Amino acid sequence: MNAIISASELADALRSERPPVLLDVRWQLSTAAASGQPFDGRAAYASGHIPGAVFVDLDRELASAPGPRGRHPLPDLDVFGAAMRRAGVSAGTPVVAYDGGIGWAAARAWWLLRWTGHPDVRVLDGGLPAWDGPLEAEAETEAPAPAEGDFVPKPAEGAVLDADGAAALARSGVLLDARAGERYRGEVEPIDPVGGHIPGALSAPTADNVDADGRFRPAAELRARFGELGVTRDVPVGVYCGSGVSAAHEVLALEVAGIPAALYVGSWSEWTSDPARPVAPGPDPQ
């Protein structure tokens, strides 16, 4: 099963006898430049979305409240399951998630569904900007709400790392840091209290997984990229970022390359919440 789907493939799928459930997961970390206010994904959805899509709130439905476990800890499974069923997700229905183009939020939805047992979920490659079909505004649609789905989350073992597991993997396998290189090196840290990286982690910015249009690079290119970092199917691999969102995008890129990887959901925001945990500055992994 491919982890991503092109806009043309999605258009064909929506016309098929078994159309996918569409999740609109528009979200962004930074504030909107024009207004200085936090980005409102719900308002963006209301102004125009792919016909039939249902909005999913990353902060409230794909994560729990911020705290010692990070800025985007795992969601309460009852909350997540209810959100998926409200969107019409059933165990036997295909699902496609999309966002505003960067791919992080859609990848978070993809990862959560895969982790909790859904067998058929993909991300729209390039997000909404890649879609050249019609859009509908919420006030204009006459479509009824989707029928309630039956999906019940059942987490898989071994796909999630905690802080101790991430530290151990940095020694026994490959732990990738998906943040920008300057944050990995500790040159800047705009969000968390300490800059640097988990000792032993390797810098692998998420931005390098996609081309200028925000679409994933071909699988062969991704395999070569990760291979230069010592990543193969025979080596345990984990990924972290600032709060477990962009790292999900890197796990998705690894999936496209044919390489399974675990996600450290708490990521740097959880790691730095405990001042006793070691921090490595500079370009050297150690």
DSSP state of 70: B
Whether 241 is catalytic? yes
Catalytic entry in 174, 241, 251, 257: 241
Compute the distance between CA of residue 193 and CA of residue 134 in angstroms, rounded to an integer: 44
Amino acid identity, position 102: I
- Residue for token digits 């970022």? 241
**218 Cβ contact list (under 8 Å, min separation 6):** none
Q: Are 264 and 240 in contact (CB under 8 A)?
A: yes
Using DSSP's 3-state secondary structure scheme, residue 123 falls into strand
238: part of which helix (H) or strand (E)?
strand 237-240
Helices (H), the chain: 7-14, 41-47, 58-61, 77-86, 104-115, 163-172, 181-184, 219-227, 246-256, 267-271
Instruction: Of 240, 203, 245, 200, give the one whose Cα is nearest residue 225.
Output: 203
Compute the distance between CA of residue 229 and CA of residue 203 in angstroms, rounded to an integer: 9
Q: Are 198 and 174 in contact (CB under 8 A)?
A: no
Residues marked as catalytic: 241
